[in-house]
Structure 1
């Protein structure tokens, strides 16, 4: 071994030692006990240097402990619903406001909800977007926002020390409660959107997705693209944004989720401050239930070597009692990545794609069940028929006992990650509050998952899916079709190159 190799080996060994030193306390903090640790409990723990190395064998097949959540709930004087979890491990807190202010509330103006949310931090009475960003940064705080079909969110992460928390909350309350929607910023945002619409024309997957929602939902609000259209966005005015904000960002339409280094009294004060800073008003009604569309097929001609295939039908709303059974069933069918029925048959045995995925997307009312695959254009029809047959077989016979047991173990093992950080928890609280779920939702879900039988999963999938009811949209070239290649027992070789997206 020459001198260069010896030096490299020494460096690697040093790095390994450093990683082992760092990872030991990190592992403790990443796997908290069933109740949040108090400062006293932390200080009385054995030093890291004398603690024995934990072994996975000690779990004896059981899932690792998950952080227990003491969810406290109340309603502010203005009608905002509040969910709070005290977590003293770190000197910081996470805050998320969730409003029923997604694109389903756009009415006849697609893009209105998205533009309103995007413009929140573009200006307040005495500060422009640069000053707002600098204000959060100077306090070590972070602001986030986003709008989707059902909801719009605004979030804050801040240190919990009063001298930093107070000004961060004051700025956040003004940004969310009293944005000014400056004309110059609105013009800039519109130009960015219009540029994005032009780019969409070169994205066959995006074109297929837009067409699929239109075919699936027809005249329902979910049919509209969340970011609007090239026709609707230019006409949106500042006055429309202000009116939408006054209606959809009202306190009665808000869920306030708080997690972190706060007492109950501090959390109540924060919630009261934020609720009072919002416009006054009641919760907006959820969209009407969509009507199931007739099965159909639409093709979008696009010059490409591959074809995007998207299949969909109406799924469930978030409060459906079959949610757990359908989640597990989909994990086996196509939602769990490698090892699912769809991946095994379409990718591994036939090499038809780099990936195929299925998903239920429950929303306020029936969200879509979708399957998405990209394959060679000349094999698109054969791939479509294979996917249909795999769904038909799964609905008819359900999962095997081995498949169900494997998914139950995987979910039990990964479930602690759903509450591994304050950011994870605040997201869970926001969803629980927005969809009006019980505080025990996380525990209920896991209990239901572990108690499911093969027959219960099969029956739930059969109740909610019809293999002959898919709306199908394809995007790609029209070419002569070839028959499906026969399956192989070992993984098929994948085509070279980077897949098109």
Structure 2
């Protein structure tokens, strides 16, 4: 990237961070391209920068049998040559136009992000269109990226938490695709060819499983043209394999004996889907139980009162085919049983009595007030949030409605949500020195 472009891009990024408060307050517009591609746009002409995020539903859950890791491998190759540009030329042109481009995969989607200067938009969009539509998958980059992934896998094979996580995933998910290693295995990665990648790309990149959002200095009309240029020539429909909902293997304990200074503990309870009517009661209950960074019951009991751990808390995990409430901490090995019992006691107390009225009021204040900081603090974060809102089918007015949705939750609803989920026997993972 030339020095002048680098300075302009850096200045634009700083301005985007400073001015994001008015940016996210701007109306979220739905843009429909001439070819029927729908996307959301927050137009902000104050900063000469455009941030765009997109995702194709499917992800590593679509990895064919015996080709584990293909989605992850493919994401490392989109900027390694496309169309008539080999890897070196593609990277050089991307550098010349001052754009940033990246791709990633999770269980449910393959995602991409691009940030570009508005006055170099056309050149950056040309490169993005090539990467999305015509990735080359040349053998030399395949071998190089595969070697990097394999090196990471081999390094992680010596990490006790990685080993435990894999065993726990197998116990939780069984044969479901979520139980596989998304990065693949050494043996499966070695079987992946150029043709495998090209076929996987063709089956997974289409217009009907595409979600797009952008924030920045671009008009709806220009954004509509951009959508067709990048995505308009993709197949109309993706060829995705059906994926069933995962049935969590609860009520079991997985223990991994490993000589470590600390013992890690994880507990998994049922969760709720994002569209479930009980979502916000569960969301608030989780915050009070363990989701609040410095205010939750679990944090106070484990860290503040007893000093058993540096951190302890819970989170709601939601995927397309799974939802769970996960509690985790790490403590001294000789006090792991005590810590586990405290976690169980706090869960039982929440299930029996629910939160107090005071806890409910404080949780609502925090969850309403922290949303902008956690989700809307930069143009890239806003674009990512807009993709998530579309994915979850929450509507363009969700940000305006969210506070009312939270504030309307009653104490009785939170108590009922706690009883619904926390009376279940959890799956437990313990990683640490063998118990005497």
TM-score by length of 2: 0.90
The answer to whether 1:135 aligns with 2:90 is no
- The answer to whether residue 137 in structure 2 is matched with residue 184 in structure 1 is no
Q: Distance in 2 between matches of 1:113 and 1:295?
A: 32
Give 3-state SS (helix, strand or coil) of 2:434's partner: coil
- The worse-fitting range, judged by mean Cα deviation, of 88-97 and 315-324 is 315-324
TM superposition shift of 1:217: 1.4
CA deviation after TM superposition for structure 1 residue 266, in Å: 0.6
Q: Secondary structure at the match of 1:474?
A: strand
CA separation of 1:80 and 1:213: change in aligned 2, threshold 3 A: farther
Q: Which segments of structure 1 move beyond 6 Å, counting only runs of 4 or more?
A: 25-28
CA distance in 1, matches of 2:21, 2:326: 36
Kindly state the Cα deviation for residue 322 of structure 1 after the two structures are TM-superposed: 2.2
1:1-52 per-residue CA deviation (whole Å, 9 max, x = no partner) reads xxxxxxxxxxxxxxxxxxxxxxxx989954745xx5xxxxxxxxxxxxxxxx
8 Å CA contact 2:259–2:433 kept in 1: the answer is yes
**Kept in 2: contact 1:310–1:371 (CA 8 A):** yes
Q: Is the 8 A contact 1:149 1:226 kept in 2?
A: yes
C-alpha deviation, 1:209, in angstroms: 2.0
Aligned to 2:334: 378
Matches within 5 A, 1:29-178: 29-30=18-19, 32-33=21-22, 67-76=24-33, 80-108=37-65, 109-161=67-119, 164-178=120-134
Bigger Rg over Cα: 1
SS across alignment from 2:111: strand
TM alignment of 1:280-359, pairs within 5 A? 280-282=236-238, 284=240, 287-359=243-315
Counterpart CA distance in 1 for 2:387 and 2:312 is 30
Instruction: State the SS of the aligned residue for 1:353.
Output: coil
Alpha-carbon distance change, 467 to 378 in structure 1, aligned in 2, over 3 angstroms: farther
Aligned to 1:390: 346
Distance of 1:208 and 1:476 partners within structure 2: 10
3-state SS, counterpart of residue 362 of structure 1: strand
Q: Which residue of 2 aligns with 1:462?
A: 419
Question: 1:428 offset after TM fit, Å?
Answer: 1.1
Distance in 1 between the 2:44 and 2:192 partners? 42
Q: 1:26 to 1:103 in 2, by over 3 A?
A: closer
| CA separation of 1:299 and 1:95: change in aligned 2, threshold 3 A | same
Distance in 2 of aligned mates of 1:338 and 1:156: 35
Q: Which residue of 1 aligns with 2:227?
A: 271
Q: Distance in 2 between matches of 1:160 and 1:426?
A: 16
Q: Indicate conservation of the 8 Å contact 1:212/1:310, yes or no.
A: no
CA distance in 2, matches of 1:286, 1:300: 33
Change (3 A) 1:91 1:475: same
C-alpha separation in 2, matches of 1:204 and 1:197: 13
- Whether the aligned pair in 2 keeps the contact of 1:142 and 1:156 (CA below 8 Å) is yes
Which range moves more in the overlay, 169-178 or 421-430? 421-430
Does the C-alpha gap of structure 1 residues 284 and 187 become closer, same or farther in structure 2, counting only changes over 3 Å?
A: same
Q: Deviations over 1:211-231 (max 9, x none)?
A: 222211112121112211233
Aligned counterpart for 1:428 among listed residues 379, 385, 398: 385
Is it true that 1:254 corresponds to 2:210 in the alignment?
yes
Q: Deviations over 1:275-316 (max 9, x none)?
A: 224344347476322224241011112121221212113423
CA, structure 1 residues 131+325, in 2 after alignment: closer, same or farther (shift >3 Å)?
farther
Question: RMSD across aligned C-alpha pairs, in angstroms?
Answer: 2.3
* 1:260 Cα deviation after fit: 1.2
Other-structure match for 2:361: 405
- 1:231 correspondence with 2:194: no
Gaps of 5+ in 1: 1-24, 37-66, 481-501
> Of 156, 163, 167, which residue of structure 2 is paired with 1:200?
156
Number of positions where the alignment pairs a residue of Structure 1 with one of Structure 2: 421
Q: In structure 2, the residue corresponding to 1:478 is in which secondary structure?
A: coil
Is this contact kept in 2: 1:217–1:223, CA < 8 A? yes
1:208-223 to structure 2, matched below 5 A, reads: 208-223=164-179
Structure 2: give runs of 5+ residues left out of the alignment.
Answer: 1-13
